[in-house]
Amino acid sequence: MKGTSGFWAEKCVLVTGATGIIGSWVVKDLIDHGAEVIALVLDADPQSELHRSGYVRRVHVVNGRLEDFRTLERALLAYECDTVIHLGAQAIVSVASRSPLPTFETNIRGTWNLLEACRLHSGLAKRVVVASSDKAYGEQEHLPYTEEMPLQGRHPYEVSKSCADLIAQSYHRTYGLPVAVARCGNVYGGGDLNWTRIVPGTIRSLYRGERPLIRSDGKYIRDYIYVKDVSRAYLNLAEQLDSLQVAGESFNFSTESRVTVLDIVNRIRRIMKCEHIQPTVLNQAKGEIRNQYLSSAKAARVLGWRPVYTLDDGLTETIEWYKKYLGENPVE
């Protein structure tokens, strides 16, 4: 993987969504590489990996909402941030479907607020990475998703990611803002406490001796990527934003695995030695794209990025994280 080993020393990085699953690991990696981190946090979450790891004591915390432009501008100016990694979002598909307006406000308005603050103070923000998603592509006739495909989300969460992605691209094309977009599939790993997601939900159910629930028919195909590989991807992308091949571009990050929901559940059952516990298939999923997976050939070619973890290796580490967490928090 390309990148300079000492790149992050003395860099000042604003990370939005710092207590989320990806944000927590990105912050940890940045600090371990010598960066000063400014964490935008909506609500303090003592159960997040950022807090549990103790790294929250090593960052500057700014409390506020993405929807509040002045908060974002203050964070950027007060700490003279030269790098922005924008991970903050309402990230739950079912929540977006039930309540689209707050999702649009956070994911779309929040993105343009941040980019506008960076544009107004372009002397500070030398590099901006925006988190998009495979969901931004919407439903496509041909797979895997590649970066030249149109963004055509249809349901609320997909639309919010399509819009934010396009807004980020427009800020580069129109104003020359040094921004790049990252698109990942389903991110899993320690620290995800949204139990409706298939990986943490399945692990918790099996840990308790309960049958895991599959909302769909189990045959939906998804692209799963371990959070540590995702964190490396964000840092690598930011490091190379000075390149003309990177600024203004979008990159898919993927293990290029094509795994059904039922297969991911069965892998977890095997690793946890719980194959005797059968899942319950609810077949109730609505408004979700059936098959989604990405090509990361561009990231490999331009950035030199490749995943380190296989699916089984990532799941094994993830299961160990949750065993420790659930052992400490038996009522969760």
Selecting among 55, 137, 145, 157, the annotated active-site residue is 157
Catalytic residue list contains 157: yes
d(CA 223, CA 241): 26
Tell me which of 43-57, 191-205, 255-269 is least confident: 43-57
Domains and CATH numbers, the chain: 12-188+225-256+293-308 (3.40.50.720)
Band of residue 329 on the pLDDT scale cut at 50, 70, 90: confident
Using an 8 Å Cβ cutoff, are 168 and 130 in contact? yes
d(CA 219, CA 288): 12
Region 207-225: what's the mean pLDDT?
96
Band of residue 255 on the pLDDT scale cut at 50, 70, 90: very high
Full-model pTM = 0.95
The two structure tokens encoding residue 149? 């495909």
Tell me which of 16-30, 42-56, 67-81, 232-246 is least confident: 42-56
Q: What is the pLDDT of residues 11-61, one digit of tens each?
A: 999 999 999 999 999 999 999 999 999 999 988 888 899 999 999 999 999
> What are the residues whose beta carbons fall under 8 Å from the beta carbon of 255, sequence distance 6 or more?
223, 224, 225, 226, 229, 296, 307, 309, 310, 311
Residue 1 scores a pLDDT above 50: no
| DSSP SS3 for 13 | strand
> What are the residues whose beta carbons fall under 8 Å from the beta carbon of 38, sequence distance 6 or more?
12, 13, 14, 15, 59, 60, 62, 75, 79, 81
